């Protein structure tokens, strides 16, 4: 086989508040690769099938000199995120041609991986769409586990309590709404469009509102106080939740979208409330919860999906060249459900 073009999505420049597809990321086809002869050095060669797009990726688009625990993408190099690929060649005894690999993958149509670090081979006896494994059934960083495990670990729900879920039409929030309803809670949920409000009501939210149309503080004053806050936003929304919290409230700090899209260091001004109201704020990374909760997750969630009791949506994009657009849409709140990019078929 002759060398073929290997499309890659490169980190090209540090964005301001929002990424600009074509500028901060560029799709590059200048590299060629020969699938038959590229050196594997004991590793394996994969074709990328599916890519997960997540808001935290914006947080990795900084200058490499920037101090952070989360390393930046490297300028001039491909982005990477959670993905699924199929193995085309292998020199690794644990990896066979035709295996489907999930793990952090480079945004390149073809790539060589040295070993299975951080990755695994997927089993898919039910022939579910591969992208399912990026979302509701996915590995850490992915959405089903984030929602399920952090809810189990931190929410301590009591029947009749009230939870406020932000980005409730998103890949995580939509599941949190449903888990909260299963636990007998009153659910207040917010999102940024009327279409999303309708979706959140379908999922069972008792109160669903468009935060662009009504004030979060007004809704919480009327419908609160809140015992649990699922935070995907930070900033002024977190302030509103702090001022609407009940004594002993639990705040589950899953994400802070305002941080990613407004240059960071967004002020939170009402933190004194955590003392006044004995609030606990739980920051977490889901991978640190997996050892404790994985067995429960695998037992409980897949049957809920197959029975249809747990609803789940994907926002689908096609082609590696639109990853930048998919991320921008996500950060602008255009999606309903998990954002996935279908890169290629098996």
What is the residue whose two structure tokens read 């991986």? 113
Q: How many CA atoms lie within 13 A of 192 on its CB side?
A: 14
CA gap 234, 136 in Å, rounded: 24
Q: Return the number of other C-beta atoms located less than 10 Å from residue 291's C-beta.
A: 8
Between residue 21 and residue 60, which ones bind its own copies under the rule CB under 8 A? 59
Give the per-residue contact string, 220-249, with its own copies (x = CB under 8 A; - = no).
Answer: --------------x---x--------xx-
Residues 340, 341, 344, 345: is their CA dihedral positive or negative? positive
Cα–Cα dist 298/290, whole Å:
11
Nearer to its own copies among residue 61 and residue 208 (C-beta): 61
Task: Spell out a b/e string for 159-168, using b for 16 or more CB atoms within 10 Å of the CB, else e.
Answer: eebbbbbbbb
Query: Nearest 5 degrees, angle CA 173-CA 178-CA 183?
Result: 120
Query: Considering only 6-14, 162-170, 208-216, 270-278, which stretch makes contact with its own copies by CB under 8 A?
Result: 270-278
Q: Which of 1, 63, 69, 126 binds its own copies (CB under 8 A)?
A: 69
For residues 334 and 315, give the distance between their C-alpha atoms in angstroms, rounded to a whole number.
9
Indicate which single residue of 14, 129, 285, 344 sits in contact with its own copies (rule: CB under 8 A): 285
Q: Which of 54, 109, 227, 259 binds its own copies (CB under 8 A)?
A: 259
Instruction: Return the range that interacts with its own copies (CB under 8 A); candidates 32-40, 255-263, 317-325, 326-334.
Output: 255-263
Contacting residues for 309 by C-beta, under 8 A, at least 6 apart: none
The residue from 61, 147, 240, 254 that contacts its own copies (CB under 8 A) is: 254
Q: Which stretch binds its own copies (CB under 8 A): 25-33, 67-75, 80-88, 190-198?
A: 67-75
Taking the C-alpha atoms of residue 280 and residue 179, their distance in angstroms, rounded to an integer, is 20
- In the complex with its own copies, the residue whose CB is nearer, 281 or 305, is 281
In this structure, the strands spanning 207-210 and 186-191 are: parallel
Q: Cβ closer to its own copies: 74 or 271?
A: 271
- The reply on whether position 275 binds its own copies by CB under 8 A is yes
CB-wise, 125 or 267, nearer to its own copies? 267
Least distance in Å: CB of 143 to its own copies?
A: 15
Size of the site for its own copies (CB under 8 A): 36
Look at residues 219, 228, 247 and name the one whose alpha carbon lies nearest to residue 152: 228
Q: How far is the CB of 261 from its own copies (least distance, A)?
A: 12
User: According to the binding rule CB under 8 A, does residue 187 interact with its own copies?
Assistant: no
Inter-axis angle of helices 235-243 and 216-223, nearest 10: 20
Q: Which stretch binds its own copies (CB under 8 A): 96-104, 181-189, 257-265, 312-320?
A: 257-265
Residue 64 touching its own copies (CB under 8 A): no
Phi, psi of 288 (to 5 degrees): -80, -10
Residues binding its own copies (CB under 8 A): 59, 68-70, 234, 238, 247-248, 253-256, 259, 264-285, 288
């Amino acid at each position: 086989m002759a060398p073929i073009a290997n499309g890659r999505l490169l980190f090209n420049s540090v964005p301001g508040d929002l990424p600009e597809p074509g500028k901060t990321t560029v799709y590059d086809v200048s590299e060629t690769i020969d699938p038959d002869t590229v050196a594997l050095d004991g590793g394996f060669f994969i074709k990328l099938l599916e890519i997960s797009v997540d808001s935290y990726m914006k947080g990795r688009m900084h200058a490499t000199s920037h101090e952070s625990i989360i390393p930046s993408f490297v300028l001039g190099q491909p982005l990477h995120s959670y993905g699924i690929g199929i193995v085309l060649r292998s020199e690794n005894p644990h990896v066979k041609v035709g295996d489907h690999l999930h793990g952090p993958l480079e945004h390149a149509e073809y790539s060589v991986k040295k070993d299975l670090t951080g990755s695994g081979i997927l089993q898919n006896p039910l022939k579910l769409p591969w992208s399912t494994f990026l979302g509701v059934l996915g590995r850490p960083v992915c959405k089903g586990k984030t929602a399920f495990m952090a809810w189990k670990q931190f929410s301590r729900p009591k029947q009749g309590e009230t939870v406020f879920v932000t980005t409730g039409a998103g890949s995580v929030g939509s599941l949190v709404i449903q888990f909260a309803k299963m636990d007998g809670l009153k659910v207040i949920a917010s999102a940024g469009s009327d279409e999303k409000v309708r979706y959140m009501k379908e999922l069972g939210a008792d109160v669903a509102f468009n935060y662009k149309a009504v004030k979060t503080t007004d809704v919480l004053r009327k419908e609160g106080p809140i015992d649990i806050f699922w935070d995907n936003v930070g900033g002024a929304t977190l302030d509103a939740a702090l001022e609407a919290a009940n004594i002993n409230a639990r705040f589950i700090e899953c994400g802070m979208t305002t941080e990613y899209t407004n240059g960071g260091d967004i002020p939170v001004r009402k933190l004194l409330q955590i003392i006044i109201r004995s609030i606990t704020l739980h920051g977490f990374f889901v991978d640190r919860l997996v050892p404790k909760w994985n067995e429960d997750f695998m037992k409980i969630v897949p049957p809920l999906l197959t029975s249809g009791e747990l609803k789940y949506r994907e926002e689908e994009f096609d082609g590696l060249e639109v990853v930048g657009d998919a991320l921008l849409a996500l950060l602008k709140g255009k999606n309903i459900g998990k954002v996935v990019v279908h890169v290629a078929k098996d």
